[in-house]
Amino acid sequence: MKFLLVEDNSDLAGAIASRLRLDGHVVDNAETLEDAKAFVSTGEYDMILLDIMLPDGDGRTFLKEHRASDLDTPVIVLTARSQVSDRIGSLDLGADDYLTKPFDHAELEARCRAVLRRKSGNARVTIETGGVVFDSVAGSLKVAGEPINLRNRELRLLELFLNAPGQVFSKQKLADRLFSYDDDVSENAIEVYVGRLRKHLEKSDLGITTLRGLGYRLDHAD
Amino acid sequence: MQTDAVVSGSLRNRLVLILIGGAAVLAIFLFFAVRSYAVQVAQRGQDNILLASVTSMLDAAAFRDGVAEVDIPYAAFSMLNTPADDRVFYAIYQDDTFLSGYNDLGLLGENQGGQPSFQTRDYRDTSVREVTASRTLIGADQRTEIQIALAQTQDALADTLDQISRNAALLGLGFFALAVALSIWATQATISPLSRLTNSVTRRGPQDLSPFTKPVPQEMAPLVTSLNSLMGRLDQSLSQSEDFIAEAAHRVRTPLATVRSYAEATLLRVNKEENREAMRSMVKAIDESSRAAGQLLDHAMITFRADHLEREELDLVDLVRDLILRLTPVADMKDLTLDLRGEDTVTYAGDPILLQNALRNMIDNAMKYSPADGAIEISVRSEPVVAVTVSDQGPGFPLDEIETLTARFTRGRNADNTIGSGLGLTIAQDVATAHGGEITLRNREEGGACVILSL
Amino acid sequence: MRYLIALILGFLASTSFAQEWEDQRLFNDGAGGDALRVLSSTDTNLFAPLIEAYVAENPDTAVEYLVTGTADIDGLFREAPERFDVVISSAMDLQLKLANDGFALALDDVAHPEWAEWRNSLFAFTTEPAAIVINTAAFEGLPVPSSRQDLIGLLRDRPDLFAGRVGTYDIRRSGLGYLFATQDSRASETYWRLMEVMGGLDVRLYCCSGDMIDDLTDGTIAVAYNVLGSYAEARVESGERFKILDLSDFETTMMRTALVSKETTQVAEAASFLRAVIAYQSDDASNASPLPTLAQDGDRGAIPLDPATMTFLDSLKRKKFLEEWEDALIQN
């Protein structure tokens, strides 16, 4: 996905951008409203992450103007304030969602997915391999033409494997991606989710291999 | 907070009482002044007639054949006729020797210079006005003094005075009635700018701290000026502290966000378990502090708003539905489902921002304690009272702590591993109290906690 | 029989009061208790119908009617006001002075015209002019005088006819006579000239109107000056041979008055008697009272009930008046 990050704090912008790029996303960073307008007018973005407090104005002004134009790029507001009225205001002005800083990147992704799912018509990124058709935005999986209902953690687990075929994921790494940091996760829980995913993939050419002491890996059957 | 003023007396009553009291004193004074003036005038009238009568009698005194005689003119008594048929008494003396008339009617001690003297006194069991006058007769070889005392009862005078007293009393009463009406009107007119100001203060919304611009009487100008200046300072300090809070939040949260993002990114890259654990702890700490800061600010905001509740008609089900939509992505991440149950529409007049905050805290709490793949049930009902119930399938509340759990900063004993400042339920409780409702905590029979917000 | 009773009562009264009454009569003597004592100057026969009407209405009350001269009444009553309940007199001045001196009881509930009462204690109940009456036989062939001046001229011109045949009150003895004389003197200067003429004709002096009219009737006198009009009218109607002169400059009118003694022991009875007298005299259509009713005559204003009437009662003034009167009238 292609993100436009409107954030004046370069440290934070850098941190968010590097985190997003780790997941394979493309990120442009605008530090002012002026830059943001320039970026929007020249490039096409799947998602705009908008800070509210900017050096040359209020992010909500940009939001208002953006909604008035014919572009319907979804906007998620990032706010450092925690006032409810601020959030309501953002939503009223046309933000698709908001996040309070600091935020969990998993949550950001979940929200992005939810927003994109609500906005139909956008180009979808689908992965087709080994008899599996996977749409990460819609969260849909087809195995041998049969649609399969995935739960959120199963979906994210599959996405991890599909994005890095052949890579070995330790149980700890998987836990860090699937659970929030305040969850008390046992290694057993990862085994449960891997087991479920294996079952979903039974009729495909894909399989999850257990490497004792190391972790799991997605393999083609052939 | 105590908002009822300590009342000591009423300005209106005081003003009315002072004016009416003043009017009463004036009316009584008027009555006595008119009456005493009338008494003087009436008495002078009677005195003048008595004097004219006695003078005409003295004029008729003369020596005849060397003997002093007083030939009382018919008119002398005739002029003393009154509507009340007053009685007339007289006595004629020559050099203090009684000559004629009523011998028991003595002479009054005469004034210096032979001036007639007047006196009101009792005679024959009745009050009379008596005049004594004298005249010296000079004959060929003698001189003698004729003294005449003339007295008249005062029935006509009393009748006149009664009449005048009645009229004076009516005048006084009329004056008093008019003064009372005027007092009430004047008080009303004087108090009304104050009432108007009070009204316009009362009608203001809690957020309206703009100065009063409507014209007020000169005497109220200092009050309004002080009020405006107070509100100006309040407005400034409120917006300053709001700005300060926002600024503080921004300053704290932005670097936290930076650190968190880097920590997360680092976590994905490092493989050494020690480093990963350190990173996890870092992220956990950041989450905890940001959540605590957020809830502290929310709580402060709720405390402020609860004092000036802005109620509006709203549909609680709509509100909950919005909230669920907003929280679904977070719930999804934990494979939790949020189920909305209950009635289709529940109309309630309340503060939407506060209610939303309270419910979000309740659902957040439920999500925090819910096991994976669990369901959180949210139901809205209007009978017997408007209430929202949030139930989870978590471990439930420790039985012995249910009562104290909602106290500020108290956290459940079994929540040691869960991030949270313990303010969530306190916020919900405050919102419920502000709306005249309450929070009820209980454990479900089938397991899990159940929080009920009844309004 | 009635005379006998009157004589006995008179004797009794005279023993207890040492008083000779002109007349004395007890009405409704059957009633128990104390009789209402009425002291009056009016002849019994003129007043009897009123009392009879009263006792008919009030059978429980006896009325003792005592008649004497007006001057006597004043003296008797002043001496012992507790012995009489009602005082009736034609001498307005004396009556007014009684009221002025506090001898009369105020009766607040008697409705009476203002001009006919004084202090709610003295009430007038007749209007009676003083009259000059002539014997028609004696005036045969002479012009009837139409004014006092005419009368003076006539008397002066014919001393032969009138010497010793002119009568008037002895004002030294009669209170009413004194009132008439003083009012006369006030009204016209011709009074003293008339008195002098009458003095020259050797005037006869009377105590009372009744005696004067008796003498006029039998021709002893030809002219009676200042008699009570009511007495004369009564005799004219009964066919006596005399005529009441209507002089243009003679207008003394008297009101007979009544009062209740302040010291009466029978307040209610005395007041009811007085009210009955007033009612009887005011209601002129329903009865034939021998006394004239109370009427306000436009031309001939009665002597007003006001303190001025007491003027001639002043002892100095009275002495002077009587001296002048005697000088004019008693010349021999």
Burial class (CB in 10 A: 0-12, 13-18, 19+), B4: exposed
User: How many Cβ atoms from other residues are within 10 Å of residue C182's Cβ?
Assistant: 24
Question: What are the helix and strand counts (H, E) for chain A?
Answer: 8, 13
* A33 shares its domain with A97: yes
Under DSSP, is residue A203 helix (H, G, I), strand (E, B) or coil?
Answer: coil
Say whether C316 and B125 touch across the interface (CB within 8 A).
no
> For residue B373, what is the nearest residue in chain A, using CA coordinates?
A151
Burial class (CB in 10 A: 0-12, 13-18, 19+), B226: exposed
Locate the domains of chain C by residue range. Answer: 2-127+254-304, 130-252+313-329
Under DSSP, is residue B111 helix (H, G, I), strand (E, B) or coil?
Answer: coil
Q: Which of B65, B70, B85, B137 to mutate to test the interface with C (most CBs of C within 10 A)?
A: B85
User: Who among B71, B80, B84 is closest to C307 (CB)?
Assistant: B80
Question: DSSP state, C36?
Answer: E
Using the Cβ of C159 and the Cβ atoms of chain B, whether some distance falls under 8 Å is answered with no
Using the Cβ of B264 and the Cβ atoms of chain A, whether some distance falls under 8 Å is answered with yes
Residues of chain A positioned with their CB less than 8 A from the CB of B267:
176
Q: How many CA atoms lie within 13 A of A212 on its CB side?
A: 0
d(Cα B386, Cα A206) in Å, to the nearest integer? 53
* B345 shares its domain with B300: no
Q: Which two tokens stand for residue B195?
A: 């009432």
Using the Cβ of B268 and the Cβ atoms of chain A, whether some distance falls under 8 Å is answered with yes
Least Cα separation, residue C173 to chain B (angstroms): 20
**Total domain count for chain A?**
2
Q: Please, are residues B129 and B151 in contact by the beta-carbon 8 Å criterion?
A: yes
For CA atoms C10, C16, C20, C25, the dihedral sign is: negative
User: How many Cβ atoms from other residues are within 10 Å of residue B1's Cβ?
Assistant: 3
Say whether A110 and B280 touch across the interface (CB within 8 A).
no
Range of the domain at B46: 15-163
C182, C184, C185, C186: CA torsion to nearest 10: 90
Say whether C119 and B85 touch across the interface (CB within 8 A).
yes
Using the Cβ of B260 and the Cβ atoms of chain C, whether some distance falls under 8 Å is answered with no
> What homologous superfamily is domain C130-252+313-329 in, according to CATH?
Periplasmic binding protein-like II (3.40.190.10)
Quick: pLDDT tens for A97-132. 888 888 888 888 888 888 887 775 555 567 888 888
Range of the domain at A32: 2-118
pLDDT for B408 = 47
Q: Please, are residues C140 and C242 in contact by the beta-carbon 8 Å criterion?
A: no
Residue type, C251: E
* B418 shares its domain with B448: yes
Geometric angle at alpha carbon B324, from B322 and B329, rounded to 5° = 115
Burial class (CB in 10 A: 0-12, 13-18, 19+), B106: middle
Residues of chain C with pLDDT under 50: 1, 9-16
Using the Cβ of C315 and the Cβ atoms of chain B, whether some distance falls under 8 Å is answered with yes
* B39 shares its domain with B114: yes
Using the Cβ of B403 and the Cβ atoms of chain C, whether some distance falls under 8 Å is answered with no
* A96 shares its domain with A133: no
Using the Cβ of C119 and the Cβ atoms of chain B, whether some distance falls under 8 Å is answered with yes
Using the Cβ of C186 and the Cβ atoms of chain B, whether some distance falls under 8 Å is answered with yes
* B425 shares its domain with B315: yes
Q: Which two tokens stand for residue B216?
A: 């007020």
Q: Please, are residues B157 and B46 in contact by the beta-carbon 8 Å criterion?
A: yes
Residues of chain C positioned with their CB less than 8 A from the CB of B102:
101
Choose one of B291, B308, B325: the last residue of a domain.
B308
Q: What is the CATH classification number for the domain harbouring A185?
A: 1.10.10.10
Least Cα separation, residue A129 to chain B (angstroms): 25
Local confidence band at B405 (pLDDT 50, 70, 90 cut-offs): low
Say whether B74 and C311 touch across the interface (CB within 8 A).
yes
Residue type, B301: M
Query: What is the mean pLDDT of the segment spanning B406-413?
Result: 49
User: Above 80 in pLDDT, residue B371?
Assistant: yes
pLDDT for C14 = 44
* B108 shares its domain with B247: no
Query: What is the mean pLDDT of the segment spanning A142-154?
Result: 85
* B243 shares its domain with B158: no
* B318 shares its domain with B273: no
Give the chains touching B; criterion: ≥3 Cβ pairs < 8 Å: A, C
* B400 shares its domain with B431: yes
Q: Which of B281, C113, B416 is nearest to A176 (CA)?
A: B281
Buried b (16+ CB within 10 A) or exposed e, B335-349: bbbbeeebeeebebe
Query: What is the mean pLDDT of the segment spanning B300-327?
Result: 81
**Total domain count for chain B?**
3
In sequence order, what are the residues at sequence separation of 6 or more whose Cβ sits closer than 8 angstroms to the Cβ of residue B388?
B316, B320, B359, B362, B378, B379, B380, B452, B453
> For residue A183, what is the nearest residue in chain B, using CA coordinates?
B418
In a domain, B43, yes or no: yes
Furthest CA-CA distance within chain B: 167
Give the chains touching A; criterion: ≥3 Cβ pairs < 8 Å: B
Least Cα separation, residue B432 to chain A (angstroms): 17
Q: What percent of chain A has pLDDT over 70?
A: 89
d(Cα B436, Cα B426) in Å, to the nearest integer? 15
Quick: pLDDT tens for B8-56. 888 888 888 888 899 899 999 989 998 889 889 989 999 999 999 999 9
Query: What is the mean pLDDT of the segment spanning B222-233?
Result: 87
* B260 shares its domain with B147: no
Residues of chain B positioned with their CB less than 8 A from the CB of C309:
77
| pLDDT averaged over every residue in chain B | 84
Local confidence band at B378 (pLDDT 50, 70, 90 cut-offs): very high
Using the Cβ of C78 and the Cβ atoms of chain B, whether some distance falls under 8 Å is answered with no
Say whether C316 and B78 touch across the interface (CB within 8 A).
no
Choose one of A102, A118, A134: the last residue of a domain.
A118
pLDDT for A178 = 80
Q: What is the CATH classification number for the domain harbouring A49?
A: 3.40.50.2300
Scan residues 104-143 of B and list those with Cβ closer than 8 Å to C: 124-125
* A134 shares its domain with A206: yes
d(Cα B207, Cα B238) in Å, to the nearest integer? 10
Say whether A97 and B333 touch across the interface (CB within 8 A).
no
Class in CATH terms, C2-127+254-304: alpha beta
Task: Find which of A171-185, B395-409, C179-193 is predicted with most confidence, using mean pLDDT.
Answer: C179-193
* A146 shares its domain with A105: no
Local confidence band at B141 (pLDDT 50, 70, 90 cut-offs): confident
Say whether A101 and B356 touch across the interface (CB within 8 A).
no
Burial class (CB in 10 A: 0-12, 13-18, 19+), B175: middle
d(Cα B353, Cα B310) in Å, to the nearest integer? 9
- Contacts A–B by Cβ distance under 8 A: 134
In sequence order, what are the residues at sequence separation of 6 or more whose Cβ sits closer than 8 angstroms to the Cβ of residue B192?
none
Q: Where are the beta strands (DSSP E) in chain A?
A: 2-6, 26-30, 47-51, 53-54, 57-58, 75-79, 97-100, 126-129, 132-135, 140-143, 146-148, 206-211, 215-220
For CA atoms B324, B330, B331, B332, the dihedral sign is: positive
* B99 shares its domain with B47: yes
User: Above 70 in pLDDT, residue B359?
Assistant: yes
Least Cα separation, residue A81 to chain B (angstroms): 6
Range with lowest mean pLDDT among A80-84, B97-101, C249-253:
A80-84
Say whether C310 and B77 touch across the interface (CB within 8 A).
yes
Say whether B333 and A18 touch across the interface (CB within 8 A).
no
d(Cα B258, Cα C32) in Å, to the nearest integer? 136
Q: Which two tokens stand for residue C149?
A: 């001046």
Backbone φ and ψ for B250, nearest 5 degrees, come out as -60, -45
Say whether B74 and C100 touch across the interface (CB within 8 A).
no
User: How many Cβ atoms from other residues are within 10 Å of residue B299's Cβ?
Assistant: 19
Q: Which of A8, A81, A151, A170 to mutate to test the interface with B (most CBs of B within 10 A)?
A: A81
Choose one of A118, A142, A174: the last residue of a domain.
A118
pLDDT for C13 = 46
Under DSSP, is residue C58 helix (H, G, I), strand (E, B) or coil?
Answer: coil
Under DSSP, is residue A25 helix (H, G, I), strand (E, B) or coil?
Answer: coil
Q: Where are the alpha helices (DSSP H) in B147-272?
A: 155-203, 221-269
Q: Please, are residues B223 and B211 in contact by the beta-carbon 8 Å criterion?
A: no
Q: Please, are residues C226 and C252 in contact by the beta-carbon 8 Å criterion?
A: yes
Local confidence band at B293 (pLDDT 50, 70, 90 cut-offs): confident
Q: What percent of chain A has pLDDT over 90?
A: 2
Using the Cβ of A15 and the Cβ atoms of chain B, whether some distance falls under 8 Å is answered with yes
d(Cα A25, Cα A20) in Å, to the nearest integer? 6
User: Who among C101, C119, C311 is closest to B72 (CB)?
Assistant: C311
* A98 shares its domain with A139: no
In sequence order, what are the residues at sequence separation of 6 or more whose Cβ sits closer than 8 angstroms to the Cβ of residue B195?
none
Q: How many CA atoms lie within 13 A of B205 on its CB side?
A: 6
d(Cα B396, Cα B366) in Å, to the nearest integer? 10
Between strands B67-70 and B61-64, the pairing is antiparallel
d(Cα C135, Cα C223) in Å, to the nearest integer? 6
Q: Does an H or E element contain C6, and which?
A: helix C2-17
Quick: pLDDT tens for A28-78. 999 998 888 888 888 788 889 988 878 888 888 888 888 888 778 888 888
Q: Which two tokens stand for residue C26?
A: 């007890």
Using the Cβ of B72 and the Cβ atoms of chain C, whether some distance falls under 8 Å is answered with yes
Residues of chain A positioned with their CB less than 8 A from the CB of B258:
9, 11-12, 14-15, 102
pLDDT for C12 = 47
Q: Please, are residues C76 and C261 in contact by the beta-carbon 8 Å criterion?
A: no
Say whether A183 and B334 touch across the interface (CB within 8 A).
yes
In a domain, B435, yes or no: yes
d(Cα C96, Cα C118) in Å, to the nearest integer? 8
> For residue A80, what is the nearest residue in chain B, using CA coordinates?
B250
Q: Please, are residues C309 and C94 in contact by the beta-carbon 8 Å criterion?
A: no
* A144 shares its domain with A110: no
pLDDT for B411 = 47
Q: Which two tokens stand for residue C13?
A: 């009264």
Query: What is the mean pLDDT of the segment spanning A141-164?
Result: 85
Q: Please, are residues B413 and B401 in contact by the beta-carbon 8 Å criterion?
A: yes
Touching, B vs A (3+ Cβ pairs under 8 A) = yes
d(Cα C229, Cα C221) in Å, to the nearest integer? 17
Between strands C166-169 and C122-135, the pairing is unpaired
In a domain, B225, yes or no: yes
Q: How many CA atoms lie within 13 A of A201 on its CB side?
A: 27
Scan residues 263-292 of C and list those with Cβ closer than 8 Å to B: none
d(Cα C98, Cα C128) in Å, to the nearest integer? 21
In a domain, B172, yes or no: no
Scan residues 294-313 of C and list those with Cβ closer than 8 Å to B: 304-311
Burial class (CB in 10 A: 0-12, 13-18, 19+), A121: exposed
Touching, A vs C (3+ Cβ pairs under 8 A) = no
pLDDT for C298 = 57
Q: Please, are residues A99 and A79 in contact by the beta-carbon 8 Å criterion?
A: yes
Scan residues 18-57 of A and list those with Cβ closer than 8 Å to B: 18-19, 22, 53
Residues of chain A positioned with their CB less than 8 A from the CB of B269:
22
Cis peptide before A102, with omega less than 30 degrees from 0? yes
d(Cα B62, Cα C160) in Å, to the nearest integer? 41
Q: Which two tokens stand for residue A173?
A: 């790494």
d(Cα B9, Cα B26) in Å, to the nearest integer? 25
Question: DSSP state, C285?
Answer: S
Q: Please, are residues C307 and C301 in contact by the beta-carbon 8 Å criterion?
A: no
User: Who among B253, B273, B287 is closest to A181 (CB)?
Assistant: B287
In a domain, B9, yes or no: no
Residues of chain A positioned with their CB less than 8 A from the CB of B253:
80, 100-102
Radius of gyration in angstroms for the set of CA atoms belonging to chain A, rounded to a whole number: 19
